Copies of this chain bind each other. A is one copy, B any other.
Amino acid sequence: MATKTGEEYSTKSQELLKMMDEYSVGVFGAVPSFVVSGKGSTLVDIDGREIIDFACTMSAGNFGHCHPVMTKAVKDSIDTVTLTNIATYHESWPRLAKMLCLKFGYDKAATMVSGAEAADSVCKIARKWGITRKRISPAEVLILGSSENYHGLTTGIWPLMDASNQAEEFGVTSRNITNRNPQTGEVLRYGHIEDYEAVFSQMHGRISAVIIECLHGRLPTIEEEINFAIKLRQLCKKYNVLFIADEIRMGCAKTGKFLSCDWMGEENKPDMITLGKSITGGMYPASYILGNNDTMELVGPYSVSSTFAKSPTANIATLTALQIYEDENLLERAAAKAEGLRKSPRSGNTTMSNMLHAEVPMLVL
């Protein structure tokens, strides 16, 4: 049995692949190997082959596998208590909420489980902000996205993304949450500020928020991407529209700063941000929303939460991961390595994506 990369699966792997194909659906596409263990940057598959893991689950596991400090903290948490949130509080949540707010400079944090839930919830809060503060009617309130951005696969936020024909196949479209110009139906192109200027000038009274991933590796230079994000942020200020940076894929040191929106400078700070994926170093699913009181105080009970949100293990994993970045100077070390890589020869055909790969040793999807 050959794979799309042409590599052969072993007999053992073929059996597992057959079992997987027979009994499951829902894949992204992976390398032709069934992993059994991992350590640092090395995985071992069922045939004993070693694999150098450049991807780390699309950078969710950005300390590599089984980081000893993360492993110990999470195991200790699992030994201490199973799950306490909703019915009771766990003592770690207030500490974590405070740490997140102080580190990222926002008033309040909320937490969910998956990244898609955070992106969905931040849009939900932004809609309420638009209705409550900007007095947009509920049926009219708009959230705009951008082409080529990724926010997760749930239906509440799918219309923010380019889903080719999938949106039609699944019947999931929205007139209120979209990465298209609501009047012309054309996609709002990442990097093209004129697309947003056109929509804002016509419809700013209906627009509650714009959500984007601030860096991508899609434009030729990092400066062009930052400039686009800054211009969009300033457009939002001009028209009293919230600017939301979705940092789930692009945050946690993947672009050379902790948040990709940090490149925009303090004066262009987003109104809200989301965090997820790599925020626990791949140890436990957790996602966060950060914002100021003006937006976050609109969240009441039973509107933004989840059974496993604020779970003791999620809290401990996040607290530990944030500490590891500082204790191990990961950003500084990445910058130093990037400097070396930057000096090494490379082809003239360098895209921004390649540059980001070279500038920090963590993967940009």
A→B interface (CB under 8 Å): 16-17, 19-20, 22-31, 33-38, 43, 45-46, 51, 53, 55-58, 60-61, 63-67, 70-71, 74-75, 78-91, 93-95, 97-98, 100-101, 107-117, 120-121, 123-125, 127-128, 130-132, 136, 138-139, 141, 152-158, 166, 168-173, 176-177, 277, 281-285, 296-297, 299, 301-309, 311-313
Contacts and interface: CB of A to CB of B under 8 A. Distances in A.
Contacts of A67: 82
Nearest to A81: B38
Which among A56, A90, A131, A152 has the highest number of chain B CB atoms within 10 Å? A90
Contact of A88 (B31, B86, B313): B31
Contacts of A19: 94-95, 97-98
Contacts of A136: 171
Given A28-B305, A130-B171, A301-B29, A38 B82 contact: yes
Given A57-B87, A80-B66, A114 B306 contact: yes
Given A33-B88, A35-B90, A84-B43, A24 B108 contact: yes
12 contacts: A16-B89, A22-B98, A23-B100, A23-B109, A35-B88, A57-B82, A60-B308, A66-B82, A113-B114, A125-B170, A155-B156, A156-B172
Contacts of A277: 307
B301 A84 contact: no
B93 A20 contact: yes
A86 B28 contact: yes
B36 A65 contact: no
Contact of A153 (B75, B116, B305): B305
A299 B23 CA distance: 13
B93 A24 contact: yes
B153 A302 contact: yes
| Max count, chain B CB within 10 A of own CB: residue among A27, A78, A303 | A27
Contacts of A157: 155-156
Contacts of A171: 127-128, 130-131, 136, 138-139, 141, 176
Given A60-B308, A306-B116, A83 B282 contact: yes
Contacts of A282: 82-83
Given A43-B81, A306-B116, A20 B97 contact: yes
A154 to B, nearest CB: 5
Contacts of A154: 116-117, 120-121, 154, 156
Contact of A138 (B71, B86, B168): B168
Contacts of A281: 82
A35 B302 contact: no
Interface centre among A26, A34, A35, A127 (most CB of B within 10 A): A26
A108 B25 contact: yes
A124 B34 contact: no
Contacts of A312: 35
Contacts of A173: 138-139
A263 B99 CA distance: 47
A55 to B, nearest CB: 4
Contacts of A27: 301, 305
A57 B83 contact: yes
